[in-house]
Amino acid sequence: MNVKTTICCVLLLLFSTSSAKDVDLRVKGVTSIATTDENFICATLDWWPPNKCDYNDCPWGNAGILNLDLYNDIFLNAVKAFNPLRIRLGGSLEDWLVYQFGKQRECPLFQKKNDGLFGFSKGCLPKKKWDEINHFFNKTGVKLTFGLNALSGKKPSKEDKKNWKGDWDPTNAIDLMEYTISKGYNIDSYELGNELCADGVSARIDSVQYAKDITQLRKTVNLLYQDANTRPKVLGPAGFYGKEWFDSFLQNVGHGVVDGVTHHIYNLGSGNDKDLINKIQDPYYLSQVAQTFKDVSDAVKEFEPSSGPWVGESGGAYNSGGKDVSNTFVNGFWYLDQLGMTSTFNHKVYCRQALVGGNYGLLDTTTFIPNPDYYGALLWHRLMGSKVLSVSHEGSPYLRAYVHCSKTESGIAVLLINMSNSTTFEVSLLNDMNLYPEVVFKNTQREEYHLTPKDGNIQSKVVLLNGTPLVLTQSLHIPEMKPKLVDPSSPVKVKHDSIVFVHSKSFNAPACM
């Protein structure tokens, strides 16, 4: 081998191997910049029947709530591991659903129908199924949000069939609530309608009319639930943000009517987008949605400050998510970045579409075995507290960083997302509580949770925690997730294509005291 060939080989080796960069992460621990609900993590369950299909793919199987196996041990244990998990039960077909209570005797199944809402005929929630659902939720300690049919009593306009007119008829909802109360079932909140606001998706309600309808829901809930301490919250409008519609709604609804202003996010485009995986790894693309979070937060602060903004549904890519993308490790770059981003904009809750179902489920549609994002959600739920701290660095935009007060112990919890496929970051935590920030550490070891894809394949459905695959135990329980203990004076090594949660007990943040 001649000298030129040797030099070329060496240079090729240097450029093909992962580079490393030092990053100073400055945390302002004096005051918090936002707060989330203690149960910020939320997942959805949907009504879709097995023949819900997109792009010649039918990924729902029996994951719709009417067909879901509520006695499956893996499913049960996955929900119980959150202790508690917030669940939103709703979705596109909720405004086409009746409840088998009161005068509603017949209970039809959803059937394909060309001129029906989202291509389906009306369906029904059987009384027996409602009992099964609530027994499951009571057993697992779920905090339930139930989405009510907002089109009840309404009819499409003759001029525009997408535009629905008339007052909301709460009769069937009252029958459901009265039965629910009589059985002692716990409902954390009721939400009115799904994606009927702004331009709507398959149907639309005027902002002033919706304000009137949700005020009726509030009066109904207050009347039926006499005890203010156990009274369910009221949420809405559960759709995509449009400034004119949202501002009008919030100005026309009375103070104290709405406890949470819910909006939906599908910022990655369609599930069959060939560029989907690239969008997920592009920090510039992911940052574009920040303006929506800010706009919703600002609107709530201006018009209804006693409530708070919620992401009521978000699956990243719409129409059931992206096959072999939304249920793999790489999707965590989008999902966990969304959690971090929305928390900085004072959002109280973030509901992931879906807990199970489609290509974007936290659990596998058939086996209920957790997909990688499930473990990211669980670590967030266990580590990241409700107080959000300001954090900054001058490193690469491919390194995302979010910091909260620790949820259960002293110190701070840090989320680091490395979207780079070649660069490792050596991250030093600096306390920016004064003009001369210094590294703060004591003799307490730092806890680190490094998430990486199996075999380095970002489209793997198996995630490693500190190098060990996360798999169910022999008893079908969620595995124990033990941290790696590290000297707090050393930097956090964030490998390329990885996600790291850090718990620094020794970090002195006055806001967390």
Mean pLDDT in residue range 231-258: 98
pLDDT at 436: 44
Give yes or no: 438 in active site. no
pLDDT reported for residue 219: 98
Strand 446-453 to 498-504 pairing = antiparallel
Q: Is the pLDDT of residue 257 over 50?
A: yes
The whole-number average pLDDT for the span 22-27 is 97
Average pLDDT of the chain, as a whole number = 94
CATH number of 35-385: 3.20.20.80
Catalytic residue among 195, 304, 447, 448: 195
Spatial separation of the C-alpha atoms in residues 374 and 465, rounded to whole Å: 13
- Name the burial class of residue 3, with classes exposed (0-12), middle (13-18) and buried (19+) by CB atoms within 10 angstroms of its CB: exposed
Q: SS3 for 453? A: strand
Indicate the SS3 state at residue 329: coil
| Neighbouring C-beta atoms of residue 257, cutoff 10 Å | 20
**Alpha helices, H only, 236-330:** 243-252, 276-280, 283-287, 290-303
Lowest-confidence pick of 119-128, 143-152, 287-296, 424-433: 424-433
Average pLDDT over residues 241-256: 97
Alpha-carbon distance of 271 to 316, in angstroms, equals 9
User: Is residue 446 scored above 60 in pLDDT?
Assistant: yes
| Higher pLDDT, residue 489 or 5 | 489
Q: Is the pLDDT of residue 439 over 70?
A: no
Candidate list 94, 191, 304, 313, residue with the active-site label: 313
Per-residue pLDDT at 9:
42
For the stretch 299-318, pLDDT in tens is: 999 999 999 999 999 999 99
- Band (pLDDT 50/70/90 cuts) for residue 2 is low
pLDDT on residue 442: 53
Q: Which residues of 443-475 are buried (b: 16+ CB within 10 A; e: fewer)?
A: eebbbbbbbbbeeeebebbbbbbeeeebebeee
What is the Cα–Cα distance from 263 to 261, expressed in whole angstroms?
Answer: 7
Give the residue-averaged pLDDT of 230-238. 98
pLDDT of residue 16: 40
More confident residue, 443 or 187: 187
Neighbour tally for 134: CB within 10 Å: 18
With a cut of 80, say whether residue 13 has pLDDT above it.
no
Task: Band the pLDDT of 434: cuts 50, 70, 90.
Answer: low
Beta strands in 152-247 (DSSP E): 155-156, 164-165, 189-192, 233-239
The span from the CA of 193 to the CA of 150, in Å, is 4
pLDDT at 12 (0 to 100)? 39
- Tokens 């998510």 belong to 321
When pLDDT is averaged across residues 400-422 and rounded to a whole number, the result is 97
Which amino acid is residue 478, in one-letter code? I
Q: What is the pLDDT of residues 267-286, one digit of tens each?
A: 999 999 999 999 999 999 99
Give me the pLDDT at residue 485, please.
98
Q: What per-residue confidence (pLDDT) applies to 432? A: 85
Q: Is 394 a catalytic residue?
A: no
What is the rounded average pLDDT of the residues 317-343?
98
CATH number at 19-31+388-510:
2.60.40.1180
Give the start-to-end residue ranges of the domains of the chain. Answer: 19-31+388-510, 35-385
Phi-psi region of 269 (alpha: psi -120 to 50; beta: other; left: phi over 0): left
pLDDT single digits (tens) 33-65:
999 999 999 999 999 999 999 999 999 999 999
| DSSP notation for 118-134 | TTE--EEE-HHHHHHHH
Query: What is the per-residue pLDDT across 412-433, written as a single tens digit (0 to 9) for each?
Result: 999 999 999 999 999 999 998 7
pTM, entire model: 0.95
